[in-house]
Amino acid sequence: MNYLANEKRYDNMVYRRCGKSGLKLPAISLGLWHNFGSVDVFENGRAILHHAFDNGITHFDLANNYGPVPGSAEENFGKIMATDFKPYRDEMIISTKAGYLMWPGPYGDWGSKKYLLSSLDQSLKRMGLEYVDIFYSHRPDPDTPLEETMGALAHAVKQGKALYAGISNYPAELTQKAETILRDMGVPMLIHQPRYSMLDRWVEDDGLLDVLGKRGVGSIAFSPLAQGLLTNKYLKDIPEDSRMAKAHGFLKRDALTPEVKDKLLKLNDLASKRGQSLAQMAIAWLLKDSRVTSVLMGASSVKQLSNNLETLNNLVFSDEELKSIEGILK
């Protein structure tokens, strides 16, 4: 079966300029952190990717270690790229990262030039691509000079193996330094990928959003639903098939305190009055800030992705609503 993209795929998506660059990103991007690895059902992942692109999601976000097993999300994406998406490559923004443990020994982790550039070559091979659109340093390395890590990103861009450079999980002060180093090397910093949600607002407290705004760097928020807490999943009990119920997951049972549950119930009431689900309101709330270019969504099913895309029908908040949300979150 040959895949043919929906002809009306660009009709309903909102595209936002990434900082002061020439690049626009969809308001909702698709992350392949979970559900696209070798342990997952390949055809389910394929259906999600088709649905995303058919609805104007042009940005697909990966990393070297996404799976499980590490590398398998890129491999699976590469298969779908070769069979289904090849004619559409120039309509897509594909990103990958390096910075977390990927292979044994001293050169398979952190932020050395050796690791970053080797990893990028491996990622390109797995995905069957000549270049990625964005290559990220996935986390700061306390033991490698920042000049070396940023130099590796700049080198990748100058080699033509990446079009843009980005960073992820860097605090505000380090971001400023990294941005200056990259600019001096003639490669502007395009984007920062921080964790950000209604329940996790460190980017505001740290001043990171202010830095990005002043420096003209875009941002894309990951874990916008706080690993699923900001959905209707946990309003009553912990479902057996949920991420929280799985012992090996990132979302632990102790995250659902009585205080958090109370906030979720109040936020859910407010979302209902807006004609939205809690998840849809949580996504819209992030997009109210012009410094947030895009929100990075995971998806375990086409239905879940469809529900999240409906967020775009109502991105406007009244002052009253914003005040109520602040009251609940405080």
Complete DSSP assignment for 229-255: TTSGGGSSS--TTSTTTSTTSSS-GGG
As a dihedral over the C-alpha atoms of residue 115, residue 119, residue 121, residue 124, rounded to 10 degrees, the angle is: -160
Amino acid (1-letter code) at residue 193: Q
pLDDT of 246 above 70: no
Percent of the chain's residues with pLDDT above 90: 90
pLDDT of 248 above 60: no
- At 16 the pLDDT is 98
Output the six-digit token pair for 291: 């410094």
Close Cβ partners of 49 (under 8 Å, ≥ 6 residues apart): 30, 60, 77, 80, 84, 85
Residues 297 and 224: beta-carbon distance below 8 Å: yes
Percent of the chain's residues with pLDDT above 70: 95
pLDDT in tens, 122-141: 999 999 999 999 999 999 99
User: What does pLDDT average to over the chain?
Assistant: 95
pLDDT of 199 above 90: yes
Instruction: For residue 206, name the pLDDT band (cuts at 50, 70, 90).
Output: very high
pLDDT of 272 above 70: yes
Instruction: For residue 203, name the pLDDT band (cuts at 50, 70, 90).
Output: very high
CA atoms of 306 and 113, how far apart (whole Å): 40
pLDDT in tens, 15-59: 999 999 999 999 999 999 999 999 999 999 999 999 999 999 999
Domains of the chain: 15-237+278-317 (3.20.20.100)
41: cis peptide before it, omega within 30°? no
